[in-house]
Structure 1
């Protein structure tokens, strides 16, 4: 089953696509610089599933002069300003597995 993009994934991919276009770098050059396949780069920049990993975001971002943290921060800033913008697909993502709450309590 394919993993769907969350809204945050789409925002980050959109910023990556914009940065790649602004840099004027081809997918072929991007593939050579990052070691990623042209197909995978296309999937990420077209905002298709599966979403980019943090490592992939970092590699593509680095090729166009951005860090993964800069891209995530941009996306978070936009998401914060959109009151109707859900960062997660559903509430169950934020729930701990039943019976394992103590495993996650590090307070």
Structure 2
């Protein structure tokens, strides 16, 4: 993550929290992220992980892509590959490219590369406001959806069920590359 994007994300998180009338304590309670960590992220004292940003975005009623697009303040309807925002989680090496144009309000395409041996977990709350599919482009991906395990290969596409804690796992020796399609739904999805 560039310093500019890190600073913009910090300000966007603060603004989204304030717009919703949430204190740091209220956001901490709804996201499961500590008050101290939220404060550190908002002050730009900590670089957030993908999982942490996912928790905060979900608690604010938005997707991670939406959070990044707001941080960039971009309203273009075309997204050239060279201009698509790319964010890498320093902890896991998980790299996420926002493929959709920033102006896309209801549908998002996100290309992800998960390095060999990497694992990223998102809480069920992250899936509450979106309908999601995962399409594997290259490599192998193990997707753990609650108690259910899906082993996916190139060309496989999975429709996610009701919100559950989910883990993306690459247990192989080569990168896994997949496309996540997010369709924001009008009302929250029911937990299982």
Structure 2 distance, partners of 1:17, 1:41, is 9
Partner residue, 2:69: 73
Q: Over the residues paired in the alignment, what is the CA RMSD in angstroms? A: 2.6
Higher strand share: 2
Higher helix share: 1
Structure 2 distance, partners of 1:17, 1:70, is 15
TM-score by length of structure 2 reads 0.36
Structure 2 distance, partners of 1:72, 1:41, is 16
Structure 2 distance, partners of 1:77, 1:24, is 21
Q: CA deviation at 1:76?
A: 3.8
CA displacement, residues 26-64 of structure 1 (integer Å, 9 cap, x when unaligned): 11121111111110011111222x211122122111111
Structure 1 distance, partners of 2:49, 2:33, is 12
Unaligned runs of 5+ in 2: 75-84, 86-173, 176-192
User: Per the alignment, do residues 27 and 73 of structure 1 end up closer, same or farther by CA in structure 2, a change over 3 Å counting?
Assistant: same
Secondary structure of 1:60's partner? helix
Aligned residue pairs total 78
Q: Contact (CA 8 Å) 2:11, 2:71: kept in 1 or not?
A: no
Q: Which has the higher contact order (CA 8 A, sep 6+)?
A: 1
